[in-house]
Amino acid sequence: MKNFVLANLCALWVIHSVFGQNQTISGSVKDAVSLQPISQVLIQIEGANTTTETNINGEFIMAVTAIYGEQFLKISKAGYATKRFPITILKNVPLHIDDMFLNIDATANQDLYTIILTDDELNNDSSSADNISGLLQASRDVFQRTAAFEFSGSFFKIRGLDSSEGKLLINGVEMNSLHNGRPQWSSWGGINDVLRNQEFSFGLAASSFAFGDVLGTTNISTRASKYRQGGRITYTSSNRSYSNRFMASYASGLLKKGWAYALNIGRRWGDEGYQDATFYDANSFFISVEKVLSDTQSLNFTGIYTPNRRGKSSPNTQEVFDLRDIKYNEYWGFQDDEKRNSRVKEIAEPILMLSHYWDIAKATQVQTNVSYTFGKQGNSRLDYPGGANPSPAYYQKLPSYYLADSAGPDYANAYLAEQEFKSNGQIDWNTIYDSNITNASQGLEAAYVQYEDRTDDKLFTVNSIFNTQLNAHILFSGSLNYKHLVSRNFAEITDLLGATSYLNVDAFDGWQYDLNNPDALVGEGGRIKYDYNLNANIISAFAQAQFSYQRFDYFLALELNHTTYQRDGLFRHEAFPDNSYGKSAALNFLGYGLKGGFTYKFTAKHIVNLHAAYLQNAPNIQNSFSNPRENNAVVKDISEAQTFAFDASYFYRSRSITAKLTGFYLDKRGGNEIGFYYADGLTSAGIEFNETSAFVQEILYHVNTLHFGLELGIEAKLTSSFKLKAAASQGQHVYNNNPNLYLTSSSFVTEDGSIDFGSSQLKNYRVSGGPQSAVSFGFEYSDPEYWWFGATANYFSNTYVDVSPLTRTSNFYLDDDGLPFNDYDENVAKQLLKQERFGDYIVVNVIGGKTWRIKKYYLGLFVSINNVLNETYKTGGFEQGRNANYRELKADEEHPIRVFGPKYWYGRGTTYFANVNIRF
C-alpha cells in the first residue's frame, strides 16, 4: 500500500510538473456604493489575450499559462471607472482577490454631453466635414480619446485619414457605406445609451471580428443579454446642432425564461443650430430582443430606425464672412416670416438584424448574422431652368463683382450691393413664387423648383464569424461575408413652388434628359435629370491567428474579397444616347489584405509593438463611374488601390503614469477622386468647346498620397482624484505624385464627352482636411463625492486649403492654340499656385458634472462649454475651380476683393451642452 501511494504521488508530481504550468486567478467584483456584485465585468491581464468575465454573483476564475512575474490586472465595465491592479503571478501558486470595487464613472458618459459625429454631422457633401470621432468612442487610449473629444471640433483627421479607412460594425456586420466607404452615422444616431458595448481595435491591431482597415475596427454589440439591467432617462439642451434632446432607454437583463430585451427611444430637435436656419428634426427607435435557446445557443433580433431631417449650412468666401459673420448661411430665406432652408438632408434607413450565437465548445464560438437595410437618403436644392441664380451669395450680387469691372471699379454699385447683402442677403422666396405663378398664367413651365437628389438603397448582408481558443497560446478568428446592394438614384421634384410643371430638359445645353420620354412635363413627385440603378455584390473572407506568450505576442491576418459593380441607366441622356440607357459592363475587382503585428514585453511597465500591412482594395462605387448621372462611363484605367502601412509604439504603464508614443507611415497608391463644379477659362489645343465655361465632373486618377508622423498620449494620476493628460500629433500628409486628370461634361462636343488634361502637378502639396498638427493639455478632477471637473487647451496648426487640381494642369498656362500665354510669368504663377495655410489657433474646452445617489437611483448632471475664449478659426476650405487658367486667376488676385476666392468652413464660437439624466 505504501508503494502504491508513493507511486501515485510520484505520478501526480510528474503530471503536475509537466502539465501543471497553469495558474488560476480568481476573485469577485462589487459596486463600490451598493456593495452588490457586478456581473459581466471584463477581467484581463494587460498585454495578453487572457480574459474572462464575472458571473451573476460577480465572481470569476481565470486560468493563465506562461505568464509570470509582475503584471497588471484590469477590470472594466461600461458605466464604471476602469481599474488596474498590480499583481505578481508565481508559478503554480493560485492568486485570489476578494471584493475588488468599481465606482460609477461619470466621465465614461462623455457621449452624453459631447455631441459626437452621430449627432453633429455638418455637411456630407464635403470631405472637409468628415470625421473619425465616432470610430474612437470605445477607446481608453489617451491620444485616441483626445482626438475624438477635443480635436474633432476642428475636423482633425488621425493620420490624415477619413472615416472610410476605419471599419464600423454592429454585431459583426460592417456598416460602412458602399457608396463612399464611410459609416452613415445618422442611420443609428440618437440611441447613445444602447451603443456603449463596444470593442475597439485601433489602426493595424488585431480584431476578432474583421480584418479592418488602416484606422482600425469598432464593433458595437447590441446583444440584449449583455446590457446592464436598468434604465436611463435623459434630457439635453444645447446650441450646437440642435436645441433639445430627449432619450429614454431600458434593459431587462436576462430573465428567468431565457428572454432579454433592450429598448431606446429618443428625439432631437431645434429650429436652428449654431449656423443660421440649420433646423434639426430627428427621432430614434431601437429594440433588441434575445431568446436563449439552450446552454450553448441564443437568437437576437435588433431593429434600428432613426429618421432625421436637418437644414444644411454653406461654405462661404472670405468676402461673405467679412460682410456677415461665421454663422451666415446662404441656403435660406424668409417665407411667411419663417426661415426656410432650401437645402435639407433627410435620411430614413431602417436596419433589421438577426444574430445567432452558438458556443460549439467551451472555447469555440460561432456568430451568424443576417442584416437588411433599406430606405432613403435625400439632399434637396433649388433648380432654376427659367430664372436667375437664386443664391444670395451669387458672385454677381456681391461688391467684389462691381469692383472687378473691366472698365474700372464701380464703387457706387459695389456699395449698393454691399448694403443689399448685409440687409437682405438671403433667398427671396416671394420672388421665386411670383416668377412661377407668372409663368403658369402664361402657360409656361417652372422657372424654379425645389428637387431632391435621392438614393434609395436595399442592402442585404449575411456573415458568419468564428473564434476558437486552440490552446492557451493561440486564438484563431475567421469570417465569411456576403453583401448585395441595389441602389436607386434619381432626382425628384419635392416642391413646384407655385408652378404647374417642370420641363425635363437641360436648360443650359438644351439636351433631353430622357430621350425615351422627350419634352416630358413633370409634376411634384416626378423624376427629373437622371435615374439609374447601381448594383454591387461583395464576397469576402478573413482569417487571423493570434499568439500570446510570456514575453511576446504576435498575430497574422489575411483577407480576400471580390467586388462587382454595375450601372443600369433608366434615362437615355441625349448627349450620350448610346452609353446612358441600360446596363453597363460589370466592373470586377479582386482585393486582399495582409497584416501582422508583434509585441514584446520587456516588463509589465515597458512594452513595444510593431504592425505592418499591405492592402489592395476595390474603389468605392462613387469613385468608379466617372459621371453616373449621365452615362455608363467608368474612370479611366480603373483598378484596385494599394496601401502599405506601418506603425511602431512604445508603452509605459505604471500605477500613476500611462504613456504611449507611436510613429506611423502610410503609402497609398492608385486612388481616385471625383469632384463636381462650374469651371471658367477652359482651354485645350485641338478640342472644340460649345463654351469656355461648363459644369464639369473632374476625375483625378492614379492618386498617390503619403502620410507619416508621430502621436503621443500621456496621463499622469497625481492623486486618486486628480490627473493630468496631454496628447499631441505631428503629421505630414502630402500628395506623392502628379496624378492624371480629365473632365467630363455634357457641354463638351467630344465623342465621349471628356477632355484629358494630362497630369496635375500636385506632388508635395498637402492633403487637406483639418490640422496636421495638434497638441492638447488638460486636467481632470474626480471627487469621491461623485462630482468632477476638467479643462483642456488645444493648439492646432498646419491646416491647408484643398487645392484645385485643374489649375495645376497644362490648362493653366496654355491658350486655345496650345501655346503658352505670351504674358506668362513663372514666378507669378508659383505665387498664384501656392497652397494657402490657415492661421494657428487655440481652443479651450471645459467640462464638469455631478452624480447623486438617491436610494436606488442615480441622478446625473453634465455640462460642457467648448471654445470658451470664442476663438474664430478656419477648419477647412477649397479653392474654386472657376479660374482655370493663369490670366483669369491672376486678374482675380489683383482685384480689391477676390470674386472667386476659396470657400471656407469656420469652427463654431462658444457653445454649450447641458445634460441631466436619471439612471435606475
CA distance linking residue 89 with residue 17, whole number of Å: 17
User: Beta-strand (E) ranges in 680-802?
Assistant: 694-717, 722-735, 740-744, 754-759, 773-782, 787-797
- What is the grid cell recorded at 206? 488585431
* pLDDT at position 24: 84
**Residues 292, 302: contact at Cβ < 8 Å?**
no
Per-residue confidence at 134, pLDDT binned at 50, 70, 90?
A: low
Per-residue confidence at 162, pLDDT binned at 50, 70, 90?
A: confident
Per-residue confidence at 52, pLDDT binned at 50, 70, 90?
A: confident
Residue with cell 494599394: 642
* pLDDT at position 126: 41
**Residues 716, 780: contact at Cβ < 8 Å?**
no
* pLDDT at position 509: 85
* pLDDT at position 22: 60
> What is the rounded average pLDDT for all residues in the chain?
89
**Residues 286, 316: contact at Cβ < 8 Å?**
no
Q: Is the pLDDT of residue 4 over 50?
A: no
Q: Is the pLDDT of residue 176 over 60?
A: yes
* pLDDT at position 80: 77
Per-residue confidence at 88, pLDDT binned at 50, 70, 90?
A: confident
Per-residue confidence at 117, pLDDT binned at 50, 70, 90?
A: very low
Q: How far is CA 684 from CA 355, 749, 755, in A?
A: 57, 13, 8
Q: Is the pLDDT of residue 579 over 70?
A: yes
- What is the grid cell recorded at 158? 488621425
Q: Mind listing the pLDDT tens digit for each residue in 432-442? A: 999 999 999 99
CA distance linking residue 354 with residue 3, whole number of Å: 62
CA distance linking residue 420 with residue 404, whole number of Å: 18
**Residues 821, 813: contact at Cβ < 8 Å?**
yes
Residue 778 main-chain phi, psi, to 5 deg: -160, 180
* pLDDT at position 69: 80
620-635: average pLDDT? 94
Q: In what helix (H) or strand (E) does residue 323 lie, and over which residues does it extend?
A: helix 318-323
* pLDDT at position 114: 37
Q: Which DSSP letter does residue 150 get?
A: I
CA distance linking residue 72 with residue 88, whole number of Å: 8
CA distance linking residue 132 with residue 140, whole number of Å: 15
* pLDDT at position 245: 94
Return all residues near 498 (Cβ < 8 A) that are at least 6 apart. Answer: 432, 433, 434, 436, 437, 440
**Residues 755, 692: contact at Cβ < 8 Å?**
no
514-532: average pLDDT? 96
Q: Is the pLDDT of residue 6 over 50?
A: no
Residue 419 main-chain phi, psi, to 5 deg: -65, -40
**Residues 264, 194: contact at Cβ < 8 Å?**
yes
Q: How far is CA 859 from CA 102, 109, 250, in A?
A: 18, 13, 16
Return all residues near 664 (Cβ < 8 A) that are at least 6 apart. Answer: 159, 203, 645, 646, 647, 707, 708, 709, 710, 711
Amino acid making up residue 556: L
CA nearest to 866, candidates 850, 847, 841: 847
CA terminus-to-terminus distance, the chain: 64
CA distance linking residue 469 with residue 474, whole number of Å: 6
Q: Are strands 694-717 and 657-679 parallel, antiparallel or unpaired?
A: antiparallel
Q: Is the pLDDT of residue 101 over 80?
A: yes
Q: Is the pLDDT of residue 762 over 70?
A: yes
- What is the grid cell recorded at 646? 506601418
**Residues 592, 540: contact at Cβ < 8 Å?**
no
Q: SS3 for 808-871, per residue?
A: HCHHHCECCCCCECCCCCHHHHHHHCCCCECCCEEEEEEEEEEEEEECCEEEEEEEEEECCCCC
* pLDDT at position 5: 40
Per-residue confidence at 49, pLDDT binned at 50, 70, 90?
A: low
Per-residue confidence at 650, pLDDT binned at 50, 70, 90?
A: very high
Percent of the chain residues topping a pLDDT of 70 = 91
Residue 401 main-chain phi, psi, to 5 deg: -65, -40
Q: Is the pLDDT of residue 228 over 90?
A: no
Per-residue confidence at 338, pLDDT binned at 50, 70, 90?
A: very high
461-489: average pLDDT? 95
157-184: average pLDDT? 93
Per-residue confidence at 730, pLDDT binned at 50, 70, 90?
A: very high
Q: Is the pLDDT of residue 137 over 60?
A: no
Q: Is the pLDDT of residue 843 over 80?
A: yes
624-636: average pLDDT? 94
828-845: average pLDDT? 96
Q: Mind listing the pLDDT tens digit for each residue in 19-28? A: 334 678 889 9
Q: Is the dihedral of CA 789, 115, 322, 792 positive or negative?
A: positive
